[in-house]
């Protein structure tokens, strides 16, 4: 592994997904850094439906894309009261807008500069602008750096997911509450 490179974080340009020319960059960064192999369909599902929630970090001094975050925002049912009629049941269901951080990667030599934190903060801010109620994600229980990052940003452990990853490792499902759900 290469030694970490100190960079001027203020020079990083953050871009949203703009098309196929970004897709290969995202796939390469994610494949190199995450333990899960994703089919091309998975990448396309996120970047095509939520390009405004996909961030790429470009560092002009080296001409490299050095990190990315890929996310989505959808309605999620949070309560289904027991009511007599189906019509009433549908009417009284309560939904929230739930953000999901699917993938986050920073090239190893650029870690330690705060880029992962900035990518998550930008993602959460974009979700808040779209009136998200919560943000969820999963990370391996063994990934201490990621757990520390997410918890320092206010995420809390919701549950442990046994053998969640293909490599057999467990995951923690983490959640960041942005609004109180009634």
pLDDT at 82: 53
pLDDT at 92: 58
pLDDT at 34: 75
SS3 123: helix
pLDDT at 93: 62
pLDDT at 86: 53
Ranges under pLDDT 70 in the chain? 1-2, 79-93, 181-182
pLDDT at 45: 97
Cα(181)–Cα(165) distance, integer angstroms: 30
pLDDT at 79: 60
Q: Which helix (H) or strand (E) holds 9?
A: none
pLDDT at 163: 92
Please, which residues have CB within 8 angstroms of residue 144's CB and are 6 or more apart in sequence? none
Class of domain 9-177 (CATH, top level): alpha beta
Q: Which helix (H) or strand (E) holds 140?
A: strand 134-140
- The alpha helices in 83-114, defined as continuous H runs, are 86-92
pLDDT at 98: 95
By the 8 A CB rule, do 89 and 46 touch?
no
56-95 residue pLDDT tens? 999 999 999 999 999 999 988 876 555 444 555 555 567 7
């Amino acid at each position: 592994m290469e030694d970490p490179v100190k960079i001027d974080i203020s020079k990083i340009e953050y871009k949203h997904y703009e098309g196929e020319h970004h897709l290969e960059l995202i796939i390469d960064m994610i494949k190199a850094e995450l333990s899960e192999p994703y089919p091309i369909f998975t990448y396309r599902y996120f970047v095509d439906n939520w390009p405004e929630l996909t961030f790429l970090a470009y560092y002009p001094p080296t001409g490299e894309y050095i990190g990315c975050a890929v996310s989505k925002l959808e309605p999620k049912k949070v309560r289904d009261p027991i009511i007599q009629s189906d019509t009433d049941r549908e009417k009284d269901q309560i939904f929230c807008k739930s953000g999901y951080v699917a993938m986050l990667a920073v090239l190893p030599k650029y870690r330690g500069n705060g880029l992962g934190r900035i990518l998550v903060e930008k993602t959460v801010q974009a979700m808040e602008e779209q009136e998200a109620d919560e943000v969820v994600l999963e990370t391996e229980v063994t990934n201490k750096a990621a757990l520390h990052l997410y918890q320092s940003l206010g995420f809390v452990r919701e549950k442990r997911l046994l053998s969640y990853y293909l490599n057999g490792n467990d995951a923690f499902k983490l959640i960041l509450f942005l609004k109180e759900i009634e």
